[in-house]
Amino acid sequence: MSHTTNQSWGGRFSEPTDAFVARFTASVDFDRQLALHDIQGSRAHATMLARVGVLSEDERDTILGGLDDVAADIEAGTFEWSVELEDVHMNVEASLTEKIGITGKKLHTGRSRNDQVATDIRLFMRDAIDNVAAELARLREGLIDLADREAETIMPGFTHLQSAQPVTFGHHLLAWQEMLARDHERLLDCRRRVNVLPLGAAALAGTTYPIDRHVTAELLGFERPAENSLDAVSDRDFAIEFTSFASLLLMHLSRMSEELVLWTSAQFDFIDLPDRFCTGSSIMPQKKNPDVPELVRGKSGRVYGHLMSLLTLMKSQPLAYNKDNQEDKEPLFDTVRTVQDCLKAFADMVPAIEAKSANMFEAARQGFSTATDLADYLVRKGVAFRDAHEIVGQSVAHGLREGRDLSEMSLEELQRFSDTIEPDVFEVLTLEGSVAARNHIGGTAPDQVRAAAQRARDGLAASGSTG
């Protein structure tokens, strides 16, 4: 091989790669993040090669010792990365060969960078998913505990952002928890498809060496080897699936963020966020800005973009591996970082939310939020629902003219619209009565909220926070 061409593949080339092209095609600036996972896969590969007799035990031990030294350099920050070596794999292999000599060149026997990088990404994603799942579980636990504490705190429930019916703050928080529970299920389900071993597929057609892929899978903790060598090296479904999960999660966090931003405003004033999660204004000294939820809300678009990038990357690729796939890492890595940061911010912040219960209660009194309860009351007295709806609508119109809520009207006033109304009507026109009346699974009654919180807590414990 000419010394002027790349040491890993330059044998058939008559001239070196153009310097710009070398920089343009190199991935080491970002795939070095996979270095320790690359070494993890190489350790298992060398161990397997020795078991099937392709490497001697002495060669295996020499390689494993050299890989330990390379890993130590990387972790210490003393490893010298080279763009000329293109990627993380060749940088690691070159360093290994420099440390242990020609034996280092035997490590690549029976594999290709195609199945190597596919394995590295899956190892990286498996660890990332476990980390994300743990943070997601921590956020869910915080929400459940806060919902339990606020099971009796009455607030307005909204449709179209208009006051609709009274609910409790705990009930509202458990709606958020349900969103996250679905996300958690999707994440753990995604992990099953990540946990499949590509190594052994080589470039695209497998290898003629007598490898044992089940040994490698067991050593690396994969459930099984990939069934088809063509698919193994070219599949990036798992990356798209994770980014799809992340997009749904960020959409949910963005919805939560929107409500937190509204609730901290002077116009709502429902909650208080600790100062450590907020910032001030450089010109307006009174300001306390909810920057954490605002920023999380903004980051949703970033993750949506990464999902579209990965879908577009894969949409026209023929089998098997193509250089396009190098572009999978940056959006995937950024998605992982973004999700981890957003979850950490929320998991730290949510348990510290303080409800302003008096303000919530007063807001729930506005907007005739017990009107539906009055309609239900009339139906239970034998009035047809459509007639009851009309009666209550007339009562609300009267209240709007007079500037009074239904609960503030006298019995005589209410009876002007229906003589079916009796003194017991005021039991259903109170906020407490309205909330307590929805005493069924999924309802707003405080006892139901506490029971739902316990079911959510039990479900979280049963599922496990990670795969």
Q: Which of 186, 203, 216, 27 is nearest to 123 (CA)?
A: 216
Beta strands 224-225 and 162-168, pairing class: unpaired
CA distance 205 to 203: 6
Alpha helices in 165-290 (DSSP H): 169-194, 213-220, 229-234, 237-264
Pick from 83, 10, 90: which is nearest to 42 by CA?
90
Identify the active-site residue in 14, 160, 282, 440: 160
For residues 306 and 112, what is the distance between their CA atoms, to the nearest angstrom?
27
Mode of pairing for the β-strands spanning 224-225 and 196-197: parallel
Closest CA to 154 of 355, 359, 361: 361
Alpha helices in 403-438 (DSSP H): 411-415, 426-429, 431-437
What is the spatial distance between Cα 147 and Cα 290, in angstroms, rounded to a whole number? 21
281 an active-site residue? Answer: yes
List Cβ neighbours of 20 (8 Å cut-off, separation of 6 or more): none
Task: State how far the Cα of 144 lies from the Cα of 52, in Å rounded to an integer.
Answer: 52
Q: Are 392 and 458 in contact (CB under 8 A)?
A: no
Residue 229, token pair as written in the block: 């060598």
Question: By the 8 A CB rule, do 111 and 55 touch?
Answer: no
Between the alpha carbon of residue 347 and those of residues 138, 272, 292, 293, the distances in Å are 6, 16, 12, 12
First to last CA, the chain: 46
Contacts of 389 (CB under 8 A, 6+ apart): 375
Q: Does the annotation mark 244 as catalytic?
A: no
Catalytic residues: 160, 281
